Structure formats: C-alpha cells, structure tokens
Amino acid sequence: MTAWFLQYIKNGFFIASLAVFSTIAVVPAAQADEIELAMKSMKSAYRGAMSSTTIEEFAQYAQKLQSSADAARKHYYDDSPVIYREGMERLQKNIADVNQAVRSSDLVSAKAALERMDEARRHYHYVLDEND
C-alpha cells in the first residue's frame, strides 16, 4: 500500500475514534441535563401542589409531578446509580401515596404525602452529594 493510503486510513480511524469518544462523553452530560430538567419540573409541580386550595388543582400538579418523575426515572445517573435508582423507587412509592389521597379527594393527606416525598428528596440529594 502506498504511504498516502496508510495515512488516510490512520486519519480516518483517528477521526472515527474521536467521534465515538466524543459521543460517549456527551451522553452522560445530556443525561445529566435531562435529569436536571425533570427535577426542576418536579420542584415546580411540588410548589404548585403545596399552594393548591382544591383537590382538583392539586391533582393537576400531581399529574405533572408524575410525568416529570417518569422522565427522571428513564435516565441513568453515572455517579451513584444504585442510590439514584433507590431514590427513584422511593419517589414512585411516595407518588403512589399522593395519588391515593387524590383519589380519596383528601387534600390534607395529599399534601402530607407530598411533604414525605420532599423529605425523601432532601435525604437522597444529601446522600448523592456525599457520594460525589
């Protein structure tokens, strides 16, 4: 083979490798951005729900909270995947408690369940910060 062809293959391989490694580096950052967006949406839904004065208004925010939690649960947290998954499971249990209170039209219980969810959020954010 000629020298220019070997150089072409080397350069092509280098460029292909660079593209693959760049993609690998971008995926975790994109995942982190998606998780952050979902968490911000949950925070907004939490605030709206806690300021609700009717169960109907609360239910709308609870639905937004569920959607945002579903989005967050789809992602992988590289730094502490086991703890993140555990937190997502606890979040889902707390949301189930919120939804049960909504079905019972009990605004006081729904807000209490949401407060327990916020306590879990604080716990898991603390644990995840400790493990980073």
CATH for 96: 1.20.120.10
- Give the tens place of pLDDT for each residue, 95-119: 999 999 999 999 999 999 999 999 9
Q: Which domain holds residue 83?
A: 3-131
The residues near 41 (Cβ < 8 Å, ≥ 6 apart) are 64, 67, 68, 71
Which amino acid, 10? K
**CA-closest candidate to residue 35, choices 82, 85, 80, 69:** 69
Tokens of 16: 């292909």
How many structural domains comprise the chain? 1
Give the single-character DSSP code of 102. Answer: H
- Give the tens place of pLDDT for each residue, 25-75: 444 555 668 888 988 999 999 999 999 999 999 999 999 999 999 998 887
Task: Assign 90 a pLDDT band (cuts: 50, 70, 90).
Answer: very high
Percentage of the chain surpassing pLDDT 90? 48
Q: Is the pTM of this model over 0.75?
A: no
**CA-closest candidate to residue 58, choices 97, 99, 91:** 99
